[in-house]
Structure 1
Amino acid sequence: MNKIIFPIAIIALIAGVASFFSFQSSNELVYVDVNKLLEGYKRTKVEQESFKKKTDVIKSNVDSLVTNWQSELKKYEKEQAGMSTKERELKKELLTNKQQQINNYQQAVQKHIQEEDQKMTQTVVNDINGYIKEYGKNHGYPIIFGAGGNGNIMYAEDASDLTKEVLEGLNTQYEGE
C-alpha cells in the first residue's frame, strides 16, 4: 500500500513545491530534496508509528477471524463422518459463507487501511508544502524547486540545497519551539 501512495505523495509534493512563487525579487534558484524532507520530518515518523499501531490492531482482528474460521473447519472435518448428509451440506454452506464474509471484510479493511495511509501521507505533505511556501516568502525566494530523484532536477550546486534549513525549521515548527 505504501508503495503506491508514497510515489503519488512525492509527485504531489514536488508539484506543490515547484508551484510556490513569491512576489519578492530574488534571482537565486534553490531546491529542497523532497525525499529527505519526508524522511527527516518528525511528524512523518509520529504519523507512521500511529498508523502502524492502528493497522496492527486491525490486522490482529482479521487474523482472529481467520483463526476462528480455521478452527471451525477443522472441527467440521473431524465431525463430518458422524453427520447426516443434510447436516454436512448445511455446515459446509455455513463455513463457505463465513469464509466469503471474512474475505469481504479483509478487502474492506485493506481499502480502509489504504485510505487512512493516504490521509496520513497527505497531512504530512500539506505540512511540508505550507512550510516551504512560508519559508520561500520569508526568505525572498521566487521559486523553490523540489528534487525527488525522478529527473526533475538532474544537477544543482550544494549551495542551492535548502533541505537542511527547511527540515530544521519544519521540525522546530512541528515541535512548537
Structure 2
Amino acid sequence: MKRIFLSLGVLVVLASCAQPEKTGFVNNSELINDYQGKLDIEDKYQARDEATKKKSDSLGQAYQKEVAQLQQKLAGMSEQQQQQAAQPFQQKWQMIEQQMKADQQTFQTEFQTEIDSSIVEVVDFVKDYAETNGYSYIFGTSDASRSVMYGKETNDLTKEVLEALNASYKEKK
C-alpha cells in the first residue's frame, strides 16, 4: 500500500514539474502589412502602375487627336466612305486597347504572385521563430478573423516577430 502512495506521490511531483507549453500570438494583419518585404513589393508595383497610367493617358490623348483629325477627314464623305475610312482607325485602337488590358492582367497576376510569396515568407518565418524560441504554438489573429479572443499583452509577439522578420529581410536584401 505504501508503494502505491509513494508511486502516486512521485507521479504528482513529476506532473507538477512538467513545463507548460510556451504559447504566443501575433496580429496577422499588422505583421504582414508592416513587413518590409511586402512594402517593397507594393512600392515597386506602384511605380510600375504610375508608369502604366502615364502611358494610358498619353495614348488617350493621341486617340483624341486622331479622332479629331478623322472627323475632319470624314466630314465630306458619304456614309459608306466614312465607314471604310474609319475601319483601320477602329482596328488600330481595338488592338491597342486589347494590349493594354493584357498588360494590366499580367501586372495584376505578377503583383498578386509576389504578395502571396511575401505572405508565405511571413508564415515560414513565424514557424522558424517559434521553433528557435521554444514556442509550442503561435496563434494568428486580426480584426477580420479573431482566432484569439483574448491574450495577455505579454503573449503578444507581433512587434517582436515583426522586428526580427524585417531584420532578416534586410540581411537577405
Smaller-chain TM-score range? Answer: 0.7 to 0.9
TM-score (norm 2): 0.78
- 2:51 & 2:20 partners in 1: Cα distance? 51
Query: Per-residue deviation at 1:26?
Result: 5.3
TM-score (norm 1): 0.76
User: Which residue number corresponds to residue 174 of structure 1?
Assistant: 169
Query: Per-residue deviation at 1:171?
Result: 1.0
Query: Per-residue deviation at 1:128?
Result: 0.9
User: Which residue number corresponds to residue 156 of structure 1?
Assistant: 151
| Residues 26, 141 of structure 1: 8 Å contact kept | no
Count of aligned pairs: 153
Query: Per-residue deviation at 1:50?
Result: 0.9
Equivalent of residue 66 in structure 1, options 60, 72, 89: 60
AA aligned to 1:122 is D
Identity %: 27
CA RMSD of aligned residues (A): 2.1
Listed as ranges, the gaps of 5+ residues in structure 1 are 1-24
- 2:118 & 2:95 partners in 1: Cα distance? 35
Q: Which has the greater radius of gyration? A: 2
Query: Per-residue deviation at 1:37?
Result: 1.0
Secondary structure of 1:31's partner? strand
Listed as ranges, the gaps of 5+ residues in structure 2 are 1-18
Q: Deviations over 1:87-141 (max 9, x none)?
A: 4212222232233223322321221121021122123212211211110001111
1:98/1:159 CA distance change after superposition, 3 Å: same
| Residues 28, 141 of structure 1: 8 Å contact kept | yes
